[in-house]
Amino acid sequence: MARAAEQADRLKKLEELLMQQAQARADKEAAKKKAVEDAAAAAAEAKKAAEEDKLAKLHDLLVAQRDEQKARDEAIAAARASEKAEADAKAAKDAAEKQKAAEDAAKLLAAAKKAREEAETKAAEEAKAAKEAHEKALAEAAAAAEELKKAKEEAEKKAEEEAKAKEEAEKKAAAAAAPPPVEKQAPIKFKDAVGRKFSFPWHICCTWKGMEELIKQAFLHVDVIGQHVHDGHYDLVGPDGEIILPQVWETMVQPDWTITMHIIDLVPHPAHSDLSPEGLEDLEDLQT
């Protein structure tokens, strides 16, 4: 009996323990469930608060955008009003200026019309005066041209007569001053190496060729020095004692001059190599 009671007591304690464990599990489950529910409620509350905060911020943003748009619209309206006021003022000013310009233009037009009428009147008077002056000048010019023509004709006639008279006077003066013909000019007085004297016509001896030919002719039959003369072994001396070279004969010699001849080569010519000593002495005597 005691054992049964002990077992019963054990069973009772075991049941109580099991019941306590079950209750503990139930409490734990309930606490866990409550914690989950509390967490869910807190999360829901937080979500709700976040959404409410988001809605509040969105509301504030919309209000700010509305206020900003309102301010912008008011600024645009003010700017448009200002522009309209400026445009109205400018239009009024332009209208006033146009009115003044129109009045000034009317005044200027009237003044220009008056000035044009005065200018046309003055121009007509000046044109009339100019025409009269032109006609007068033409008449005077025609008269002057006629006088000039007459004076020119008279001057040309006088100049022609004077030129003719001058030409005749020049012809007479030229005829009076002209030297005599070459053949009538004074001859050259020539004294040869042997003392003979000749008068050579100027028109022949005025050139070296003519003078040389006359000298050769003069010594054709002269013994001893004839060949020397033929070979040109002589000098011709002018009246001033200067030798006249053949190259300048025609520019130096003058009519009526006295020309003297001197032999310059005393060496016997081969053609006279047969001359005797006496002949050479005669040649030297002739030279001296």
The residues that bridge with 261 in the sheet, in sequence order, are 236
Does 4 score more than 50 pLDDT? yes
255 vs 139, more confident = 255
Q: What is the CA radius of gyration of the chain?
A: 80
Does 20 score more than 50 pLDDT? yes
Nearest to 263 by CA among 245, 288, 287, 238: 287
- The rounded distance, in Å, linking the Cα atoms of 177 and 166 is 16
Q: What is the pLDDT of residues 235-250, one digit of tens each?
A: 999 999 999 999 999 9
State the SS3 of the chain. Answer: CHHHHHHHHHHHHHHHHHHHHHHHHHHHHHHHHHHHHHHHHHHHHHHHHHHHHHHHHHHHHHHHHHHHHHHHHHHHHHHHHHHHHHHHHHHHHHHHHHHHHHHHHHHHHHHHHHHHHHHHHHHHHHHHHHHHHHHHHHHHHHHHHHHHHHHHHHHHHHHHHHHHHHHHHHHHHHHHHCCCCHHHCCCEEEECCCCCEEEECHHHHCCHHHHHHHHHHHCCCCCCCHHHHHCCCEEEECCCCCECCHHHHHHHCCCCCEEEEEECCCCCCHHHCCCCHHHHHHHHHHHC
Whether pTM > 0.85 for this model: the answer is: no
Please give the backbone phi and psi of residue 83, each rounded to the nearest 5 degrees, phi first. Answer: -60, -40
pLDDT at 95: 84
pLDDT at 274: 41
Query: Once rounded to an integer, what is the mean pLDDT over residues 31-48?
Result: 89
The residues that bridge with 200 in the sheet, in sequence order, are 188
- The rounded distance, in Å, linking the Cα atoms of 71 and 275 is 160
- The rounded distance, in Å, linking the Cα atoms of 38 and 231 is 175
Considering the domain 188-263, what is its CATH architecture? Roll (3.10)
- The segment with the largest mean pLDDT, out of 28-37, 78-87, 97-106, 207-216, is 207-216
Does 138 score more than 50 pLDDT? yes
114 vs 236, more confident = 236
- Would you place residue 115 in the very low, low, confident or very high pLDDT band (cuts 50, 70, 90)? confident
Does 35 score more than 60 pLDDT? yes
- Mean pLDDT, the chain, rounded, equals 84
pLDDT at 224: 82
The CB density around residue 73, as the number of other CB atoms within 10 Å, is: 10
- Would you place residue 272 in the very low, low, confident or very high pLDDT band (cuts 50, 70, 90)? very low
Pair 262, 237: CB distance under 8 Å = yes
Q: What is the pLDDT of residues 154-193, one digit of tens each?
A: 988 888 888 888 888 777 755 555 555 766 799 999 999 9
Residue type, 251: T
Query: Once rounded to an integer, what is the mean pLDDT over residues 261-279?
Result: 56
Query: Once rounded to an integer, what is the mean pLDDT over residues 249-254?
Result: 96
Query: Once rounded to an integer, what is the mean pLDDT over residues 211-235?
Result: 92
- The rounded distance, in Å, linking the Cα atoms of 8 and 143 is 186
Q: Which residue has the tokens 């007459």?
A: 150
